[in-house]
Chains A and B, each alone.
Chain A
Amino acid sequence: MNNRIKELRARFNLTQLELAQKVGVRRETIVFLEKGKYNPSLKLAHDISKVFESTIEEVFIFNQ
């Protein structure tokens, strides 16, 4: 699964720390997500999408 977190974070002018604070996770989790090393839970995916005012499908791209 790929994601656009890094791109959207730059667009919204957010640092990794600020995004982590907004969604209530550690900064390392954002780093792992951006590197594609971790697939988030549905709740975290929903929270991140909400910060970026997008849907889950717009932020997370499922490769079939």
Chain B
Amino acid sequence: MKKIYLPLFIITMIVIIVGIWIYQTEAIKSDTALISEYIHIGVIIILFAFGIFFAIRRFRNTKQGLPAEDELSKKIEQKAASKSFFVSLFLWLIISYIQNESGREAESFFGYGIIGMALLFAGFYFYYYFKGNINE
């Protein structure tokens, strides 16, 4: 299997799984969904769009005879990863505080933390990709 087809295959699988999941959500089907459920789906769609962006970029570069990754893209990924990890420490701190105050079980907050980390990475990636000066 060519290197380019693997991300496309993974994204197709994610689309199918997320599609089935949204379709099967009883609350959405019965029109009784809470705002938090819509936000949850919205966040997943944002992360999915981020994956699509990655795949299209890789596909376009490969088609033009360019490498899918180079020194700049690796540097952007490294900077985005390190920044998002640093900020996510505070995110987990806030989540721990909210969990402690709310008294709800900790397991339900893990999902928010993981999705928050993914969103932070996507945000920092786009910041460095479009605007950031990575000579700092």
A21 CA to B67 CA, complexed, in Å: 9
Question: Is B78 among interface residues, defined by CB-CB distance under 8 A?
Answer: no
Q: Which of B65-114 contact A (CB under 8 A)?
A: 65-67, 70-73, 75
Q: Are A29 and B70 in contact (CB under 8 A)?
A: yes
Query: Main secondary structure on chain B at its contact with chain A?
Result: loop
Partner of A29, one of B64, B65, B72: B72
What residue in chain B is nearest A40 (Cβ atoms)?
B71
Question: Is B133 among interface residues, defined by CB-CB distance under 8 A?
Answer: yes
Interface size range on A against B: 10 to 19
Partner of A44, one of B67, B71, B132: B71
Contact flags (1/0) for B4-25 with A, using CB distance below 8 Å? 0000000000000000000000
The segment from A5-13, A31-39, A48-56 that touches chain B is A31-39
